[in-house]
Structure 1
Amino acid sequence: MASNNGRKASEIFQGQLLLYRHMYAHVDSMFLKCIVELGIPNIIHNHGQPITLPKLVSILQVPPNKVSGLQSLMRYLAHNGFFEIVTIHDNLEEKEAYALTAASELLVKGSDLCLAPIVECFLDPTFSSSWHQMKKWICEDDLTLFGISLGSHLWDFLNKSPTHNKSFNEAMASDSQMMNLALRDCNWVFEGLETIVDVGGGTGITAKIICEAFPKLKCIVLERPHVVDQNLSGCNNLKYVVGDMFKSIPKADAVLLKWILHNWNDNDCRKILENCKEAIISSKCKRGKVIVIDVVINENQDEHEVTRLKLLMNVHMACLINGKERSEEEWKKLFVEAGFQGYKISPLTGHLSLIEIYP
């Protein structure tokens, strides 16, 4: 049999492995959704110790003919780092059991750091089915996947769908909880500031974290009407304001843009940043700045898997809402064109960076 382009059989088989791995990759997300829906992370957590398969089967009331399927699922997820297979001693017997890992602990509902809502939101069929429209998105001008599948831009869809809007806000709030951990050692970012505006701050999780750490810092959450209308109440140093970041931003010493700019194209980002600059200049603070928490693609310095995630997120944002993740050069170009004089990038989480931009 002739080989493809003179390639060795071993190369061809490696190519097949790569192809098959990606062909089956969509199932990984469905497995993730499944264990969240079944509540398996919570079951193990509440069990207080690693759980055996028979005990898990009993709690879930799995039919006998599905036990082997559940075992296959658990072993696969253990292989991929969501569970750890350990040996426990039960009635003087050694038994195989499943323990939580750092990843599955993030799926325990009710915990301080829980990302289950973002899994449930992003893998909702209403949103995830959009990916079947990739060919149409590629071939037709000025369309987004959400525009094709939902009939409107994501933000317009959320305005009209209270159920999905609630799910989306809960997803963003769960991600914001991670900021408590990320910002723990970032006091230097907020020192010397008296006021800050959290643009698109959702239900205010990040703002509350900042306010608790800096009681003298006054924080404003700028959001869309249907977010603020959810009976959100402020406190002494936190308030919610309805507004449009494309029109104006309340004046403050600093403006926070967490996971905002990657939602928009360069022209829109320039407009947002120009409004941020105007808000800072109006406050007349010598230490005024914009604080961006977002992805910075750096293929030369990041580990392969980190770059893989960032590039995947880049495609995700481009297809769904015409957004993008950016390299440092792309960020710098935006900042200069918006009239800023300098910037500084610092690592924040495994895939997010903190960028301080100075007017």
Structure 2
Amino acid sequence: MASNNDLKASEMFEGLLHLYKHLHSYALDGMSIRWMIELGIPDIIHNHDQPITLTELVSILQIPPTKVRAVHSLLRYLAHSGFLEIVRDHHNTEEKEAYALTAASQLLVKDTHLSLAPMAELLINPSGGLVWSHLKKWTYEDDLTLFDVSLGSNAWGFLGKNQEKNNLFNKAMASDSQMMNVALRGCNWVFEGVESIVDVGGGTGTTAKAISDAFPNVKCTVLDRQQVVENLSGTNDLKYVGGDMFESIPKADAVLLKWVLHNWSDKDCKKILENCKEAISGKGKRGKVIVIESVINEGQDEHGITGLKLLMDVKMSCLFNGKERSEEEWKKLFVEAGFQSYKISPLTGHLSLIQIYP
């Protein structure tokens, strides 16, 4: 390994560039997205029906003249980051530059079917920086999560005592479920022969409702914490059950675990999966557990996808004592929980659909 004295000037400057990029973007990357959402910029551009110029946007937002240059700077950075597209208008002699939404910022338009604005509001929160500021202390606290160290309670205990945060969490999970529903539309084969399914940790039932609508013959049950489901009304084909997945899971042909297992340690996941196996016992060929999670595969995934999975692994490890897993780690977990076989299929860019069989 080269020391500072051995580095060429070009290598030193390359290292400086990499370091400064991360140091200066520490808070700005997230907070600039939050700023865009809070000002309603994605909604303004969406409702404008065409790319919007800086002058038009400033007028709508009533930005003080002294702030126009800085707003332009933020918009230009968001465009460089892929959250806006700069469109050149060669027919406009006064202003040749306008801003359009990208696929990423389309997902931040509020009150649309696929809006992820609630997820952004949950994850880009000033209090989150305070939690991560305890990372050094967390390193030396045996078995405690970063939430335990910073807030004195694990994530679930904190949500149980803070109704506002709990509501925000449920809205965020529901918004993500809408995206999962789009992915599941092409997975009819997953539900063939399934007459009943339990969505474990299914929140307010966004995914279960989509399954019920798409497959009227499938009876759906949502299992979640009592405080999540206590005020929700079901139908003949959809019911809500308050309970603890570590205690028991209602009987069904299939059990769905969407973004559940990565929150928990191997020991906890083994218990959850054992309860899933018990829930589908006696169902013959129909019985299976459907897991929607990441599968880390650094050898085959694109660099950006691997980066997201590794980032999620850090968050799950530090915040929940959970983790993202490779196929080898998933296989070991399934075998230890008493399952005989599994099949992994691609679902989204970073998530896989795993079917496991007793």
Using structure 1 for the length normalisation, give the TM-score.
Answer: 0.96
Aligned residue in 1 for 2:204: 203
How do residues 136-155 of structure 1 correspond to structure 2 at under 5 angstroms?
A: 136-155=137-156
CA distance in 1, matches of 2:90, 2:10: 44
The corresponding residue for 2:275 is: 275
CA deviation digits over 1:3-56, x for unaligned, max 9?
715122211111111211221232201111111111110010011111000111
Q: Match for residue 265 of structure 1? A: 265
Whether contact under 8 Å (1:3, 1:9) holds in the other structure is: no
| Cα distance, 1:128 vs structure 2 | 3.6
Name the structure 2 match of 1:249.
Answer: 249
Give the CA RMSD over aligned residues.
1.5
C-alpha separation between the residues in 1 aligned to 2:13 and 2:90?
42
Question: Which one-letter code corresponds to 2:189 in the other structure?
Answer: W
User: How many angstroms does 1:350 deviate by?
Assistant: 1.0
Structure 1 position 93, deviation (Å) = 5.1
Matches of residues 332-343 of structure 1 in structure 2 within 5 Å? 332-343=331-342
Tell me the distance in 2 between the aligned counterparts of 1:191 and 1:35: 43
Alpha-carbon distance between aligned partners in 1 of 2:208 and 2:129, rounded to the nearest angstrom: 30
Moved more, 252-261 or 177-186: 177-186
Cα offsets for 1:236-263 (capped at 9, x unmatched):
2111001100000001110000000000
- The Cα shift of 1:94 comes to 5.4
Find the aligned partners of 2:23 and 2:5 in 1 and give their Cα distance. 23
Distance 1:290 1:281 in 2: 11
Check conservation: 2:339, 2:357, Cα contact below 8 A. Answer: yes
Q: Deviations over 1:41-85 (max 9, x none)?
A: 001001111100011111111111110111001111111111110
| TM-score, scaled to structure 2 | 0.96
> For 1:156 and 1:170, how far apart are their aligned partners in 2?
18
User: What is aligned with 1:30?
Assistant: 31
- Matching of residue 187 in structure 1 with residue 220 in structure 2: no
Instruction: Report sequence identity in percent.
Output: 70
Asked whether the 8 Å contact 2:122–2:168 carries over to 1, the reply is: yes
What is the CA–CA distance in structure 1 between the aligned matches of 2:72 and 2:94, rounded to whole Å?
A: 20
The answer to whether the 8 A contact 1:274-1:339 is kept is yes
Task: State the partner residue of 2:285.
Answer: 286
Task: Go from structure 1 to structure 2 and tell me whether the alpha carbon gap of 1:226 and 1:74 turns closer, same or farther (over 3 Å shift).
Answer: same
Aligned to 1:14: 14
User: What is the alpha-carbon distance in structure 1 between the residues aligned to residue 129 and residue 41 of structure 2?
Assistant: 22
* Letter of the 1:339 counterpart: G
Q: Could you list the runs of 5+ residues in structure 2 that have no partner in the other structure?
A: none
| Aligned residue pair count | 356
Are 1:353 and 2:356 counterparts? no
Which stretch shows the higher mean deviation, 132-141 or 242-251? 132-141
Aligned AA (1:29): G
Counterparts in 2 of 1:354 and 1:58: CA distance versus 1, 3 Å: same
For the residue of structure 1 that corresponds to 2:318, the secondary structure is helix
Matched residues in 2 for 1:90 and 1:10: separation? 43
Report if the CA contact (8 A) 1:122-1:128 is conserved: no
Task: Provide the residue aligned with 1:172 in structure 2.
Answer: 173
Contact preservation (8 Å) 2:53, 2:95: no
SS in 1 for 2:36: helix
DSSP-derived class of the 1:54 partner:
helix
Matches within 5 A, 1:20-99: 20-26=20-26, 27-88=28-89, 95-99=96-100
Match of 1:303 in 2: 302
SS in 1 for 2:281: helix
In the TM superposition, what are the counterparts of 1:201-240 in structure 2 within 5 Å?
A: 201-229=202-230, 231-240=231-240
Q: Distance in 2 between matches of 1:111 and 1:128?
A: 29
